Amino acid sequence: MEEIYHRLSAVNLWQGFSNSDETSFEVIEARLQHASGEIITDRRTVHLKELDTWLAEGSEDDEDPKQSLVLRLALIGCDIKTRVLKLSKDVLDSMLDEFNLELAYTYSQSCITNVSAIPSKGSQTYSFCYMPKLVAVWAQKHLNSRSSADRPHLTQGLIFVEESNKGFLSDNLCSSWNALLYHSPMFPALLFSMILSMQIHYEESKIKLKLRDVEIQTGQDRMADRKSEENTTAKYIKLAAQVDRHAVKLASVGRKSKMAEKTLAFILENTQQPLGGRSITASTKAHQLLRSHASLLQDRLSMQAVDIEFTLKRVQLQANTLTGIISRDDVKANLDLAESQHRDSLSMKTLAIVTMVFLPGSFISALFSTSMFDWDSVDPNSNSIGVKTMPQFGLYWAITIPLTFVTFLLYSFWLRMMKQQRDRRKQSFDQLSAEEKGDPDAIEMAKLRKDTEFRKKSSMPFGSW
């Protein structure tokens, strides 16, 4: 049975991760007080010189008549950016060997999101993977020398957690529970599913608050109206990018919800349903209580899934709204630009007309470089401003006026041709649009046009096709 897990472990998704030189680590421990039946949790740091003593705690030779160690989980920080496990490889290998978790650890490196029961050396080990945020491997150590069968066995394991989430995870693991739950090896899985459920609630709440601000600025909130003059297109583009990030975070929340659902289903599958007539032992009571907690979390997760879907629809609505606002502002900007270009084109057209007025005369003046006036006949002592013209002066106007008229005539003819081309393109486009809409008259005209073209082609020689 172990062979399939060894084969799958060949796929290592942790490639590139390395171990640091740190030799100390944080542990969460829970002890059962025999007199009161209460669970006392503790958090402390274990250093390298204490490692052997710590590993020996909870063994058959180390039983305390007043209390029993029922849970110990080592927290190992991970730096995702630098891909470093903050514990030396020697210390890590020592704990994996002592807890019989080598196969569970290597198998967890082949999973992204999964929870599994893995047989190893005749015992059952467990793996919980939610990479890269949280990975855990654990097993329950059965001690035969327990003085009472109602005392839970020792559950021990390792948790690899992102450094930023280490404090949150540690605080939640330190909370004490009913002593019956520590009988089941599924108890750590219940803790992880509950932590995921709490994170789902916190993350979705933050998204909702930020989404409310976006709704206020876009006018989608019931208590506020959008004031377009207070927001620019650049501001809406930033809001659109923010909404896209909310959509990505909601996708991550949905993934986390699926993982929590899978974990709870795994718990119910691996806890025995009490049979009728069977003696009620502490283990049986533990399974009953664990199943009750898992069922309650399942109900909460189902409602959270509905809320996540609703929040996602709100995000999509805001994305569509912002897209419409940005598009409308772009259209307005394009219209302003088109109007500005139209004014510029009118100015250029005016300059072109003025140029056309003076161009023929300038051309003729350049052509007839000879003088048009008899300057030699001007009397300097006379008060008269009259100047006699040369014969070329009349010739100048005889040529310039007709040439100017011809120039304007050709320009008008060119404008008319351009207008006819635009009208033909518009008519073809309107005809095609009418045919797509199913206009009967347009379809009939299209058939008539095709028949006419076909008859024209049929009357032509074969080689002209």
Q: Following DSSP, what letter does each residue of 444-457 receive, concatenated?
A: HHHHHHHHHHHHHH
Percent of the chain exceeding pLDDT 70 equals 82
Would you say residue 364 has pLDDT above 80? no
Q: What's the confidence (pLDDT) of residue 459?
A: 46
0.85 surpassed by pTM: no
Q: Are residues 119 and 193 in the same domain?
A: no
Write down which residue in 124, 157, 185 finishes a domain: 185
Would you say residue 113 has pLDDT above 50? yes
Q: Are residues 391 and 430 in the same domain?
A: yes
Q: Which residues pair with 28 in a beta bridge?
A: 43, 73
Q: Is residue 287 a contact partner of residue 272, using CB atoms and an 8 Å limit?
A: yes
Q: Are residues 232 and 156 in the same domain?
A: no
Q: Are residues 381 and 453 in the same domain?
A: yes
Amino acid sitting at position 148:
S
Which residues fall within 8 angstroms of residue 51, CB to CB, at 6 or more apart? 23, 91, 94
Structure tokens of 59? 């063994």
More confident site: 355 or 47: 47
State how far the Cα of 462 lies from the Cα of 110, in Å rounded to an integer.
72
The DSSP code sequence of 365-377 is HHH--S-SB-GGG
Number of domains in the chain: 3
The DSSP code sequence of 381-430 is T------PBPHHHHHHHHHHHHHHHHHHHHHHHHHHHHHHHHHHHHHHHH
Q: Are residues 312 and 417 in the same domain?
A: no
The answer to whether the Cα torsion of 452, 453, 456, 461 is positive or negative is: negative
DSSP SS3 for 142:
coil
Write down which residue in 364, 389, 421 finishes a domain: 364
Would you say residue 458 has pLDDT above 50? no
Per-residue pLDDT tens digits for 152-199? 789 999 999 998 888 888 888 888 889 999 989 999 999 999 999 999
Secondary element (H or E) of residue 78: strand 67-79
Which residues fall within 8 angstroms of residue 250, CB to CB, at 6 or more apart? 204, 207, 308, 311, 312, 315
State how far the Cα of 451 lies from the Cα of 208, in Å rounded to an integer.
63
Q: Are residues 177 and 192 in the same domain?
A: no
- What is the arithmetic mean of pLDDT over 414-431? 83
Q: Are residues 383 and 451 in the same domain?
A: yes
Q: Is residue 167 a contact partner of residue 75, using CB atoms and an 8 Å limit?
A: no
The answer to whether the Cα torsion of 372, 378, 383, 389 is positive or negative is: negative
Q: Are residues 61 and 173 in the same domain?
A: yes
State how far the Cα of 157 lies from the Cα of 6, in Å rounded to an integer.
20
Write down which residue in 329, 364, 399 finishes a domain: 364
CB atoms within 10 A of CB 152: 25
Which residues fall within 8 angstroms of residue 424, CB to CB, at 6 or more apart? none
DSSP SS3 for 224:
coil
Amino acid sitting at position 36:
S
Q: Are residues 12 and 131 in the same domain?
A: yes
Structure tokens of 339? 């109007």
Q: What's the confidence (pLDDT) of residue 441?
A: 63
Please give the residue range of the domain that contains residue 63: 1-185
Q: What's the confidence (pLDDT) of residue 460?
A: 41
Buried b (16+ CB within 10 A) or exposed e, 4-21: ebeeebeeeebeebebee
In angstroms and rounded to an integer, the radius of gyration of the C-alpha atoms of the chain is 43
Q: Are residues 391 and 445 in the same domain?
A: yes
Q: Is residue 110 a contact partner of residue 10, using CB atoms and an 8 Å limit?
A: yes
Phi-psi map region of 151: left, alpha, beta (phi>0 left; psi -120 to 50 alpha) = beta
Structure tokens of 90? 């020697």
Q: CA–CA distance from 90 to each of 24, 47, 58, 95, 460 (Å)? A: 12, 13, 22, 9, 93
Q: Are residues 156 and 290 in the same domain?
A: no
More confident site: 47 or 391: 47
Q: CA–CA distance from 422 to each of 362, 426, 428, 429 (Å)? A: 34, 6, 10, 11
Q: How many CA atoms lie within 13 A of 31 on its CB side?
A: 16
Q: Are residues 13 and 155 in the same domain?
A: yes
Supply the mean pLDDT for the chain. 83
Q: What's the confidence (pLDDT) of residue 90?
A: 94
